[in-house]
Amino acid sequence: MKSILLIGLGRFGRHIALHLNRLGHQVMAVDQVEERVDAVLPFVTNAQIGDSTNVDFLESLGIRNYDVCIVAIGNDFQSSLETTSLLKERGAKMVVARAARDVQAKFLLRNGADEVVYPEKQLAKWTAIRYTADHILDYIELDEDHAMFEVAVPREWIGHTIRQIDIRKKFHINIMGIKKRGTLELTISPDMELETGDTMLVLGRNKNLQKCFHI
């Protein structure tokens, strides 16, 4: 369990708060708008109404006590930048900030952000991949060159074993798991036979995944 300071409770911030709660973390949620703060009260540990660009207010939150500070402000980049800088200047251990564009990310990283996330950009990429390939069920980008996909088992592989399709040797792709009838099996045997309806969790370089699964 970690202690999280979450600043900015728009749609993105609310979703973060909800998922952090489900994961069992302690969350202090902050926003200037009372209605937004009230909306997250059922699933955060504590919440405050306040201006995160105000030094005295930020310091009153005990910045150094949090494992991670997340700046999820989405509609006011100046406030996001100031908040990020103030958090780092006052001893925040880890600052994660939201960006909409590369130029914003550069400024955030130069002014205290340890990591930057692009919710719109990342969702757009996921949507483009997910809905232009019928056999791609899910997608996680690990870095610029590597990704993990959940893919439907190609028709021509049905009835064959993991050993027989041998995608590790042919495409340098690792099979991380097989989902059979909704149950994910992570212990993969070379003799496991692929069946109709199975899906695979596969990990590899983007270019190899694209070649293998015609993405």
Quote the longest CA-to-CA distance of the chain.
Answer: 66
User: Taking a C-beta distance cutoff of 8 angstroms, is the pair 84, 97 a contact?
Assistant: yes
Q: What are phi and psi of 174, to 5 degrees?
A: -100, 135
163-209: pLDDT as tens digits: 999 888 888 999 898 998 888 888 888 899 999 999 999 999 988 88
Element (H, E) at 109: helix 102-110
The residue-averaged pLDDT of 5-27 equals 93
CATH 3.30.70.1450 in the chain: give the residue spans.
122-213
Q: What angle do CA 164, 184, 122 make, to 5 degrees?
A: 100
Q: What angle do CA 204, 209, 211 make, to 5 degrees?
A: 140
Evaluate if residue 102 carries a pLDDT over 90.
no
Q: Domain 122-213, CATH 2.40.50.140 — does that match?
A: no
Evaluate if residue 90 carries a pLDDT over 90.
yes
Evaluate if residue 62 carries a pLDDT over 70.
yes
pLDDT at 129: 63
Fold of the domain built from segment(s) 3-117: Rossmann fold (3.40.50)
| Global confidence as pTM | 0.68
Evaluate if residue 130 carries a pLDDT over 70.
no
